Amino acid sequence: MAEIIDMPKLSDTMSVGTLIKWNVKEGQTVAFGDILGEVETDKATMELSCTVPGTILKIYAPGGSQLPVGAPICAIGKSGEVAPNPAAPTPKAAATSTPPIAESTGVACVPPAPAATSSGTSAPRTSNDERVKASPYAKRMAEKAALNIAALNGTGPGGRILGRDVNAAAQAPAAAPVATAPAGPLNVTVPAPADGKGIQPDADIPVGGMRQTIARRLLESKVTVPHFYLEVEVDAAPLLAIRESINKRLAETGGPDAVKLSVNDFILKGSAEALRRVPAVNASWAGTSIRAHGAVHLSFGVALEDGLVTPVIHDAQAKSLKEIAVEAKGLISKARAKKLTPNEMSGSTFTVTNLGMYGVTGFYGIINVPNAAILSVGATIKKPVVDASDRIVIGQRMVIGLSGDHRVVDGATAAQFLQALKLVLEDPTLMLI
């Protein structure tokens, strides 16, 4: 008997999803685990896996549709079987309608970026200012291959440009690079205006559900949560020294597959240890009470081309520095491959956001509700400092900021947390015991 496949709930806060594209066609045989298509949730773009083997009898919603959770998207059954015809809401075009946005617990501080589409890049346009229809994956492929996506012919529904179209163009002898603006940290490229004036075409860029959620949740956090801010300067020299020593030993004993610790791994482990010492920060506002969390579930920001995701390291207080490093790298890889599960993006009790790799020396993140605080990490810089003997020497300093929810955390408690974190980071051997 044919089975109807509904729009799945791919995150704990998802109520609406955008069916970005289909990887299958009606009449195609699919097996368990095959990737049917891509769905954009309120947090990320994720692959839709097949859970019912059989034949695609009917596709109810075309690529680009926005649908509520539970809406039928396709039917799978035996070859030759008649597909059911359920009463379903009419899908709306993603670029012309604004769906209701679900609650999200995975939004942290977002670095400034150019005006973007739901894929995180400026919307390519033709010379007559028509927006090019292309999947986010195709746009990313075109950027990496330095191709003008507006010049490609799409083979998808309605002429939509797909990854295979970009791949074919990249392999063609006549393929030519497109003139672009200098790439930013995320290698974002902007097609030059057809008239050669300005830095990009004037346009109103539609945004996807993920970007809408980021905007709404950050606004909600700033408006409804009484933020306060503290910062501390940390002597990063001991941390950098022990990191170099550990990485050298790991490389010697582990070969090419050895784990390499990053500064952020130390920050995550240090945060877990500081929360152990000052657990009042590991809490959240519950309306008429303060909810204390017994376990430390650390979320950290991962910037992608189509937005920001915050995967979570659960029970970080029980994990070693190496375990946290391995798990963080795995979550980053899964985030970039759109493989994160709902559990891996939910349940955080504290958030770390790091812009040091962009050269930012200090900033304050917006609290990731319902967390009581977010830690903001800047770059390590060399600067003149006064040592214990009152000599001016070259030191390596890192500025760490904390944004706190004053309903949950008082200034003195937040200061104690930063003191504990500073202690651990300046004596990183404390993380190893």
In the numeric block, the tokens 């959240």 are attached to 284
Helix axes 136-145, 163-171, angle to 10 degrees: 20
Tokens found for residue 223: 């408006």
A 10 A CB-CB count for 307 gives 25
In the chain, the N- to C-terminal Cα span, in Å, equals 59
CA distance 394 to 388: 13
Residue 14, SS3 per DSSP:
coil
- Token representation of residue 419: 């003191």
Residues pairing with 67 in the sheet = 17
Catalytic site residues?
406
Q: How far is C-alpha 249 from the chain's CA centre?
A: 32
Q: What are the φ/ψ torsions at residue 404 (nearest 5 degrees)?
A: -120, 150
Give dist(CA 154, CA 148) in Å, integer: 13
The dihedral through the CA atoms of 47, 205, 184, 146 has a sign that is: positive
Which strand (E) or helix (H) includes residue 391? none
Closest CA to 136 of 95, 85, 176, 75: 95
C-alpha torsion sign, points 169, 170, 171, 173 = positive
- DSSP output for 193-262: PTTS-SSS--------HHHHHHHHHHHHHHHHS-EEEEEEEEE-HHHHHHHHHHHHHHHHHHGGG-----
